[in-house]
Amino acid sequence: MSFYILKRLLVAIPVLLFLIVFTFVLMYAAPGSPFASERGIPPAVLANLQAQYGLDQPFHIQIWRYLVALVTEFDFGPSFIYRDQDVNSLIAQGFPVTLTYGFWSFVVAVLVGGALGILAAVRHNTWLDYLAVGVSIGAQVLPNFVLAPILVLTFTLWLGWLPGGGWQGGQWQFVVLPVIALSTSYMASIARIARASMLEVLTSNYIRTARAKGLPARRVILRHALKPALLPVISYLGPAFVGMITGSVVIDIYFSTGGIGQFFVASALNRDYGVMMGITILLGALTILFNLLVDVLYAWIDPKIRY
């Protein structure tokens, strides 16, 4: 097992390196200097500015410095727009927020979606099953950026129950709508996947055997059927995680939660290359790490995978 983890780690490192280099090259190739918008800068000042950020150096020195700073001290470099802030301080500001609602969304999606799917399969062709299928079909056409305005319209403007934006240090009222908006479509996908695989498992021979030898239904489902039925759900966790990270951009913009996505889009619109690069690399690294975790979890649960 530990050899398998090591092997996966050794694959993850070049991927991460590839992402960093790719992002850096993209930023390097970008037309115009980050200071181009400020017209009327005397050439001497511009040269000084570029020297201060190390932009006067040749490409290989720039990328080497960036990599070294990143690897040795987790330094994502400066922001080219906000002179008094660097990327690390922006991440420190936004990341706890993103993590809070991201964590809850993930929990809700996996637990509610998983439970709904399993229940629907166990109670196949009852109202519960139809409800689960209906919900998951409906949620398919409501991605977070469509659901968010509908939620605000309903719960803030019409019912007035919950605030339509803000964060306030993460009080629960401010977390509910972002979590619903972010988790719903993934919850639906997980429910669909869990239902389909549970249905398949429940018709398999060993489950029939377990029933035939008189095991109580609860034990058959929890002990024998659940584990293999959850395998497809686990392999979906990776894509779901990527989707939620991406969706956090919408949540931050729509609900003004002040998470990391807000800085990303602001930096994209301002052409603040330092921040864009930093956030892309951070989220890329997180995704790669998470996929690694999912792979390990999968290998641990599925006896068919040899490592």
Between 9 and 150, whose beta carbon lies closer to other proteins?
A: 150
Min dist CB 217 to other proteins, Å, is: 25
Q: What's the CA angle centered on 272, arms 267 and 273, to 5 degrees?
A: 115
Nearer to other proteins, 226 or 256 (CB): 256
**Alpha-carbon gap, residue 53 to 62, rounded angstroms:** 10
**DSSP three-state, residue 125:** coil
Alpha-carbon distance of 274 to 54, in angstroms, equals: 12
What is the residue-wise DSSP string for 134-203? HHHHHHHT--HHHHHHHHIIIIIIIS--S-SS--GGG-HHHHHHHHHHHHHHHHHHHHHHHHHHHHHHHT
Residues of this chain that interact with other proteins (CB under 8 A) are 11, 15, 18-19, 22-23, 26-27, 29-31, 137, 140-143, 145-146, 148-150, 152-153, 157, 238, 242, 245-246, 249-250, 253-254, 264-265, 268-269, 271, 276, 279-280, 283-284, 287-288, 291
Q: In the bound complex, what is the minimum distance in angstroms from residue 71's beta carbon to other proteins?
A: 19
If one counts every other C-beta atom within 10 angstroms of the C-beta of residue 46, the result is: 15
- Cβ nearer to other proteins, comparing 35 with 145: 145
Find how far residue 188's CA is from the centre of its chain.
16
Q: Which is nearer to other proteins, 158 or 172 (CB)?
A: 158
Q: How far is the CB of 192 from other proteins (least distance, A)?
A: 11
**Helix extents (H) in the chain:** 2-29, 43-52, 59-73, 87-122, 127-140, 144-151, 172-202, 205-212, 217-219, 226-255, 260-270, 273-301
Between 48 and 140, CB nearer to other proteins: 140
CB nearer to other proteins: give 88 or 270. Answer: 270
Distance CA 236, CA 300 (A): 16
Residue 125 C-beta: closest distance to other proteins, Å: 10
Tell me whether residue 210 or residue 249 sits nearer to other proteins (CB atom): 249
Q: Which residue number, 52 or 246, has a Cβ lying nearer to other proteins?
A: 246
Q: How many CB atoms lie within 10 A of CB 171?
A: 11
Give the C-alpha separation, 159 to 180, whole Å: 16
Q: How far is the CB of 215 from other proteins (least distance, A)?
A: 29
Q: Is 124 helix (H, G, I), strand (E, B) or coil?
A: coil
Smallest separation (angstroms) from other proteins to the CB of 58: 20
Q: Could you tell me the sign of the dihedral formed by the alpha carbons of 234, 8, 94, 246, in that order?
A: negative
